[in-house]
Amino acid sequence: MLDAIRNYLNAFSNVIHSIGLIDIVDIVLLTYLIYVVLKMIRETRASQLLKGILLLVVAYLISDFIGLKAISLITGELLSVGFLALVIIFQPELRRALEKFGQTTLRFSRLPFFGQPADARARWEQTIPILCDSVAELSRTNTGALIVIERSTRLGEQISNGTLVNAVPSLELFCNIFYPKTPLHDGAVIMRDGMILAAACFLPKPQKEELIDKHLGSRHRAAIGMSENSDALILVVSEETGQISIAEDGRLTRNYTRDSLNEYLTAVLLPEIPETPWNGLFKEREKTPSDQKKTDADSRKAGKEDAS
């Protein structure tokens, strides 16, 4: 027993002395990756399964160290097929995790040749005030509404189960869609690049539905579920209270007014583009006072030449 402990300590000491800078970077990245994974599965059924797997690993290590051959063999065999079992059991969680990794934090719309179409920003500049006015009117009349603003994650699956509209937004159109007795009022409106793309779309359920406030209705739950599965912004108008809410990244914020909603949407959908060497590459340089003086001098010179 003492010899085994001594061998483990010697091996551990050799590992410590062999660690270099690259190894430290590797450990830090692995630690961050484990942190991200644990954060994603926290408060889900996956966390309970993970505890069971960790207990199985501990049982294997202890049994192997003590020399319990039967238990060591059984736990070792279970761990050897554990990867396939994890893929099967954690299939919904793995899908959501891959979707989250696909939603990169790097905003390609701020880089050249990437992001939304050239005219999309101009359309959003016109659409945001109309959208805010429409939501405020729906709130005033206690008309329930669910509006999804698509961003980098495409929502083709949700669009396909709705009705294509592809219309220019207007106050009248929003109010007509969400009027309770119209065919399109049940479901969500999906907007893309400042246009109303589809209506009567059904959204996915939230991952942690049992943890959501029981006072929230189906619209708010659908909004949270959609925000968990994409980077979309979802606007919700309560049918009971007329309260305006926004769901983003699995979180619901409430009590928006027309002005605060306009401010929020402008900040998110029309972010300031940072100055880069290529920003002014294809646009006319702003004239300085010296440029204006040179232009005036050239004009006077041309006038004298014409007179002569």
SS3 at position 256 = coil
Instruction: Report the percent of the chain where pLDDT is more than 70.
Output: 70
Confidence of residue 285 (pLDDT cuts 50, 70, 90): very low
Q: What mean pLDDT is predicted for residues 228-252? A: 91
Q: Is the pLDDT of residue 111 over 50?
A: no
> Which residues, in sequence order, are CB contacts of 112 under 8 Å at separation 6+?
278
Contacts by 58-63 with C-beta closer than 8 Å and gap 24+? Answer: none
pLDDT tens for 180-220 read 888 888 899 999 999 999 999 999 888 766 667 777 888 99
pLDDT at 211: 63
pLDDT at 32: 85
Strand partners, 137: none
pLDDT at 189: 95
pLDDT at 173: 95
**Domains located in the chain, CATH noted:** 2-102 (no CATH), 113-269 (3.40.1700.10)
Q: Which of 61, 58, 57, 48 is nearest to 89 (CA)?
A: 48
pLDDT at 273: 52
Instruction: Report the percent of the chain where pLDDT is more than 90.
Output: 31
pLDDT at 282: 41
The bridge status of strand 163-167 relative to strand 145-149 is unpaired
Q: Is the pLDDT of residue 96 over 80?
A: no
pLDDT tens for 18-33 read 777 887 888 888 888 8
Query: What sections of the chain are H helices per DSSP?
Result: 2-17, 21-41, 45-66, 69-80, 82-89, 91-102, 120-140, 156-160, 171-177, 218-229, 258-269, 289-307
pLDDT tens for 30-43 read 888 888 777 666 54
Q: Is the pLDDT of residue 256 over 90?
A: yes
The region of weakest confidence among 34-48, 116-130, 293-307 is 293-307
Confidence of residue 112 (pLDDT cuts 50, 70, 90): very low
Q: Is the pLDDT of residue 257 over 60?
A: yes
Question: In the predicted model, what is the mean pLDDT of the chain?
Answer: 77
pLDDT at 205: 83
Confidence of residue 307 (pLDDT cuts 50, 70, 90): very low
Q: What mean pLDDT is predicted for residues 60-88? A: 77
Q: Is the pLDDT of residue 238 over 60?
A: yes
Q: Is the pLDDT of residue 289 over 80?
A: no
- Residue 250 falls in which region: left (phi positive, over 0), alpha (psi -120 to 50) or beta: left
Q: Is the pLDDT of residue 174 over 90?
A: yes
Q: What mean pLDDT is predicted for residues 117-146? A: 90
Environment class of residue 68 by beta-carbon count within 10 Å: exposed (0-12), middle (13-18) or buried (19+)? middle
